[in-house]
């Protein structure tokens, strides 16, 4: 017979719960303690996919139970979804029941979204795409939520992983992640300060976003008028030109070259910290109407011997063809040796076509509709070079193209203003991260060094487990 596992005493549990000095990510005030996520909450992932199938779903009614799914976490909406199971099936899966104030975390779709379930939820269970977290009643739920949400986006040392979370860490890693624990009153003070600061930042972000949305809506309307002939109606009248003179053509008839780059990793080419080598332009750099080099990347020059067709020339149009930024287009105007990756399409036009006209067209609503219709959604949405070549457009004479570009330049002179608004929004997000980083280091000016050590709070948390 297997030997029954002996229960640990409170002191033994405390010894195991404290993080060794060498494993502490950073310094916190002396009256805080470092413990681990596993000690302050319980974690449970949803049942295997085969445990819940569509054949089990029933109409909502008396004695039915809701299936909570990733959409509830992503949308922060308790009512999202319409799947229910019978009382009999619920009792088979009741170990996955959620209750008010439980946290649910999306493990599929937009991964890492966290939602605190409100008091008035329907009784139900989580599906396989969610994780449930029950935070100790001795820990401030809002403090935990702020720390946990941020920990999924940055590693514990504060280095950003990027905004997109690919996977929830395995339980063996997640539960072992360090957690900075101050006294319960300090947790509340931190939450209060963060909420006050975030409220002001959210107001500023909303104003910036509204201004940006207004600009983008106006821009879309102007571009629509440009490529339907409305903007140059007076010019055509003055020059005795008809809208019927616009040529119905395809992109392939206007170009000398349509190609794309490649991943340097596939080509055995290394990144290099040397701006005398080849500038590597990716979809991150191709913005709507301009090349953004805030994050410059360079490759060894040998990439150009391997990928000769995608070596850039001044005046080439670059179009994003992979991922969320599909359809962003800009003209390459940088006097540097440069190449592109596989997410960027190079369009080199014939001399009798205005590159500014075509670039504006590629950013116009009609082009966006074309991308949406033709993109293939696999691991990441993408357009093929064939899709680019086969784009249809109405092409006016070179003189009218230039007139359209001139009018657009005058009407869309707020492009820099839009870029500044995007920068403001990004800076607000960075400020939030900085505030959280300071908060979890005890550097918001709220900590009282005379308060008792949080080790007493940790003991209370652990007593719940005995």
pTM, rounded to two decimals: 0.67
Packing angle of the helix pair 184-227, 355-362 (nearest 10 deg) = 130
Report the DSSP beta bridge partners of residue 278: 299
Q: Are 139 and 35 in contact (CB under 8 A)?
A: no
The alpha carbon of residue 453 and the mean position of all alpha carbons in its chain are separated, in whole angstroms, by: 38
pLDDT at 411: 82
For the chain, 466 residues long, give each residue's pLDDT as a single digit of tens. 445 556 788 898 999 999 999 999 999 999 999 999 999 999 999 998 788 888 999 999 999 999 999 999 999 999 999 999 999 999 999 999 999 999 999 987 788 899 999 999 999 999 999 999 999 999 999 999 999 988 877 543 344 444 455 568 888 889 999 999 999 999 999 999 999 999 999 999 999 898 888 888 888 899 999 999 999 999 999 999 999 999 999 999 999 999 999 999 888 999 999 999 999 999 999 998 999 998 899 999 999 999 999 999 999 999 999 988 999 999 999 999 999 999 999 999 999 999 999 999 999 999 999 998 988 765 567 899 999 999 999 999 999 999 999 999 888 766 667 777 888 998 999 999 999 999 999 999 999 999 999 999 999 999 988 7
pLDDT at 379: 54
Identify the sign of the CA torsion 376, 382, 386, 390.
Answer: positive
**Taking Cα atoms as reference points, which of 98, 97, 114 lies closest to residue 106?**
114
Q: Are 332 and 291 in contact (CB under 8 A)?
A: yes
pLDDT at 267: 87
pLDDT at 414: 62
Structure tokens at 99: 């209750």
pLDDT at 416: 65
Cα 199 to Cα 9: distance, rounded to the nearest angstrom = 44
- Going by the DSSP 8-state scheme, the letter that residue 98 receives in this structure is E
Q: Which domains does the chain have, with CATH numbers?
A: 11-183+451-463 (3.90.220.20), 247-395 (3.90.220.20)
- Neighbouring C-alpha atoms within 13 Å toward the C-beta of 90: 18
């Amino acid at each position: 017979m297997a030997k029954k596992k002996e229960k640990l005493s409170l002191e033994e549990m405390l010894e195991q719960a404290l993080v060794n000095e060498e494993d502490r990510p950073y310094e916190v005030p002396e009256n805080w303690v470092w413990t681990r996520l596993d000690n302050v909450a319980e974690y449970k992932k949803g049942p295997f996919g085969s445990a819940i199938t569509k054949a089990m779903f029933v109409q909502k009614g008396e004695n039915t139970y809701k299936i909570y799914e990733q959409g509830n976490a992503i949308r922060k909406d308790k009512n999202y979804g319409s799947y229910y199971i019978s009382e009999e099936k619920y009792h088979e899966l009741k170990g996955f029941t959620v209750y008010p104030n439980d946290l649910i975390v999306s493990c599929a779709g937009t991964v890492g979204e966290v939602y605190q379930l409100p008091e008035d939820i329907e009784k139900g269970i989580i599906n396989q795409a969610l994780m449930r977290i029950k935070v100790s009643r001795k820990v401030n739920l809002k403090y935990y939520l702020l720390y946990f949400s941020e920990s999924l986006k940055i590693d514990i040392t504060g280095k950003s992983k990027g905004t997109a979370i690919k996977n929830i860490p395995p339980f063996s890693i997640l539960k072992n992640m360090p957690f900075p624990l101050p006294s319960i009153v300090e947790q509340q003070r931190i939450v209060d300060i963060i909420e006050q600061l975030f409220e002001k930042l959210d107001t500023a972000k909303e104003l910036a976003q509204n201004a940006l949305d207004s600009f983008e809506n106006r821009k879309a309307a102007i571009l629509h008028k440009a490529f339907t002939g409305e903007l140059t109606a007076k010019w055509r009248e003055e020059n005795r030109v008809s809208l019927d003179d616009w040529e119905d053509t395809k992109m392939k008839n206007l170009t000398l070259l349509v190609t794309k780059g490649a991943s340097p990793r596939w080509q055995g080419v290394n990144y290099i910290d040397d701006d005398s080598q080849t500038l590597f332009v990716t979809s991150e750099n191709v913005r709507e109407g301009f090349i953004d080099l805030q994050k410059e990347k360079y490759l060894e020059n040998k990439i150009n011997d391997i990928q000769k067709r995608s070596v850039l020339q001044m005046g080439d149009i670059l179009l994003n063809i992979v991922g969320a930024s599909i359809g962003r287009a800009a003209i390459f105007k940088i006097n540097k040796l440069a190449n592109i990756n596989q997410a960027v399409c190079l369009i080199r036009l014939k001399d009798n076509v205005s590159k500014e006209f075509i670039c504006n067209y590629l950013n116009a609503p009609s082009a966006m509709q074309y991308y949406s219709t033709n993109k293939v959604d696999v691991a990441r949405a993408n357009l093929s070079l064939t899709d680019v070549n086969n784009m249809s457009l109405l092409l006016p004479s070179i003189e009218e193209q230039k007139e359209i570009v001139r009018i657009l330049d005058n009407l869309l002179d707020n492009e820099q203003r839009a870029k500044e608004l995007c920068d403001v929004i990004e800076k607000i997000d960075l400020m939030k991260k900085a505030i959280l980083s300071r908060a979890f280091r005890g550097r918001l000016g709220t900590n009282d060094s005379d308060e008792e050590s949080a080790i007493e709070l940790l003991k209370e948390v652990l007593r719940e487990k005995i």
